[in-house]
Structures are given as C-alpha cells and as structure tokens.
Structure 1
C-alpha cells in the first residue's frame, strides 16, 4: 500500500486568495438566485453557472486569476444549491460563501487528486455557518 504525499503550499498570494473568496461567493449567490427565483432547481442551476464559469479562462488564457475562477465559482455553486430551509436569505448565502471561500483557500494545498473536494468544502462552509447562526440566535 502506498500513500501520495502532496507538498503543502504555504506561499503568500493574498490577492489570489481574496479573489477566490469573491468567486466562491459570486457562484453561491448566482446559483441561489437561479435556483430559487427562476425555479430551475439546484442541479440545473449549478450546471448552468458551472458551465458559464468554465468559459472564463478563454477571456485571457494567460491570466492566473481567470484560471482560478471555474473551480472557485463551482465550489460556490454547491453552497448556492442549499434548500431555503437551510439558507433562508441572501445574508446566509453571502456568509456561507465567504466561509466556504476561506475553507477553500486554507485547503488549497491539500486533497490534490481526491474527488469531491469542492462539495465537501461547501458542505463544511454551510454547516459551519448554520452552526454559527444557531449559536448567535
């Protein structure tokens, strides 16, 4: 049995990390909007937003930020797929998007090659936000 030891990334990339958090939050807001106000359903909404996000790197193929956008936005799509009983309004989605973005930035050097990373991170962000709001209210 062998194990893959992925190198941890501890470089300073504040702007990239901040933009990743913004992309996650935008993905969450847009998916939530398409799901609940256009009544498409969460899977179709995530598919639409994820497909649109996949074309962002073609705007400028040399931009590192544009290459970062599809994965970050798609991670936000999983947040935006939350049911209205869990995520009743946009303030919850924004907080969950920011927390999920922080989780994504923290774990960017971990879980390389593992499937389900984005969905797991989004679940963690939504669960943590629900827990925080439960404690506060």
Structure 2
C-alpha cells in the first residue's frame, strides 16, 4: 500500500498534464485530448494487486486536465490539483462503489477546490 498513493498521484498528474498539453499547445480538441492519454494508459500493464485503480487515476486526471487554459496554466497548479485529486480518489475508494460519476466528480471537485483556494489566497 505504500507505493499505491505515489502511483495514483503520478498517474493522475500524467493524465491531467498530458490532456492539458495536447489541447493547449497542440490545439487538439479537448475531448480527443482527453481520450488519447487514457487510451495509451489502458495498454500499460500494472501490478494486479492495484486492480483497476491505476487506469481510473489516469482517466480522472484526464478529466481534470480538461480545465480551461485561462483557469490553470502553470505546472505547480497541476501538481497541486493532482495532490487534491489523489486525496479525494483515495478517500472515495470505500465510499462509492463503481465508477458512475465518481471519476468526473473527483476531477470537478479537485479543480473547483483549486480555483477557489487560488482565488482566496493568491488573487
């Protein structure tokens, strides 16, 4: 379990940064930019003890990476968003069964919390 949290964090960060980068820097439509890293990530073999969670972390990160270029634009912001998203993902594993809306809800919540905190603390 010790390697589980860093793995989820890294994959969440990978999903969000790759989705955002594809859209912001290469002008790929946002839905396609979200599906490309998720598709590539689905072919990565992970340890069976982690079950489906590494793939779900990539997908959740991709959802979070769909945020507006005007809202989030720096690497440190994605690092912070990934930390919030990882915490929410880990805490919600036993709260909600299945994935119906959970991954998108986590992505929205972590992005919204970041924007709220950024507005309160840095602006």
TM-score between the two structures when normalised by the length of structure 2: 0.89
CA RMSD, Structure 1 to Structure 2 (Å): 1.7
Q: 1:129 corresponds to which residue? A: 114
Confirm whether residue 15 of structure 1 aligns to residue 3 of structure 2. Answer: yes
Give the length in aligned residue pairs.
122
Q: How does 1:42-121 map to 2 (within 5 A)?
A: 42-57=30-45, 62-65=47-50, 67-121=52-106
- Distance of 1:124 and 1:67 partners within structure 2: 21
- Distance of 2:99 and 2:7 partners within structure 1: 23
CA 1:94–1:49: 2 relative to 1, 3 Å: same
Structure with larger Rg = 1
Confirm whether residue 41 of structure 1 aligns to residue 29 of structure 2. Answer: yes
CA 1:66–1:32: 2 relative to 1, 3 Å: farther
Q: 1:3 corresponds to which residue? A: none
Alignment counterpart, residue 31 of structure 1, candidates 12, 16, 19 = 19
- Distance of 1:68 and 1:95 partners within structure 2: 20
Instruction: Give unpaired runs (5+ residues) of structure 1.
Output: 1-12
- Distance of 1:108 and 1:40 partners within structure 2: 32
Secondary structure of 1:130's counterpart equals helix
- Distance of 2:9 and 2:51 partners within structure 1: 13
TM-score between the two structures when normalised by the length of structure 1: 0.80
- Distance of 1:136 and 1:115 partners within structure 2: 33
How far did residue 91 of structure 1 move? 2.0
How far did residue 41 of structure 1 move? 1.8
How far did residue 105 of structure 1 move? 0.8
